[in-house]
Amino acid sequence: MRRVAQTFACGLLITASCAAQSKNAGPPIHLETGDFRWVTFTVRQIPSEVDCRFQVVEGGATVHVELLPMSEFRAFSHGRDHDTMALTSDGRTGEFRRIIEQRGQYAVVVKNERGARPVTVVLDLHTNLNPADVARTLSPRRRLTVILISFAFFFVTVAWSGRKLLRAIRL
């Protein structure tokens, strides 16, 4: 009797963990050739992290996911050129993580390539609104600025020191 209770308890734990894992992913998305779907969200607290994963459960490796601000989403939905904040390559699976540093509305777009067979995709999208948990790194532009300022400070210090030493030697 005790073993039956243990087996039942283990079965409940496994069922609960499977339910918790599947709760994070949204319902399957069916995409025809050249079709796209989007999920919108609003960032009110900055910095915020967006963590997105997708998996094609039925169909080919012709899907990609993009993160767009709503202004760029409008251009995307009208077929015009647009800038993306994050982009996965075409495939059966993909993921990206992006830190958003501006408040506003954003869209995550799942797109099947034109001329491809229909696909079914599962999208897993999370936003982390706790800035204490978000890993912070410098953007490439800021990193370059810090490096250039550091080099400038170093060379000014070396030139000033060299000039002082040359004056001291001449006396």
**Domain holding 55: CATH number?**
2.60.120.380
- Confidence bin at 135 (pLDDT 50/70/90): low
Query: Residue 33, Cα to own-chain centre: how many angstroms?
Result: 25
Identify whether 152 is part of a domain.
no
Q: Residues 6 or more apart from 1 whose CB is under 8 A from it?
A: none
Tell me how many domains the chain contains.
Answer: 1
Identify whether 53 is part of a domain.
yes
Q: Each residue of 10-56: pLDDT tens digit?
A: 443 333 333 333 335 678 999 999 899 999 999 888 888 889 999 99
CA distance 114 to 34: 4
How confident is the prediction for the chain on average, in pLDDT?
82
Peptide bond into 47 cis (omega under 30): yes
% residues pLDDT > 70 (the chain)? 81
CB 50 within 8 A of CB 98: yes
Closest CA to 63 of 86, 40, 32: 32
This prediction has a pTM of 0.60
User: Whole domain around residue 101: which residue ranges?
Assistant: 31-134
Q: Each residue of 139-168: pLDDT tens digit?
A: 788 889 999 999 999 999 999 999 999 999
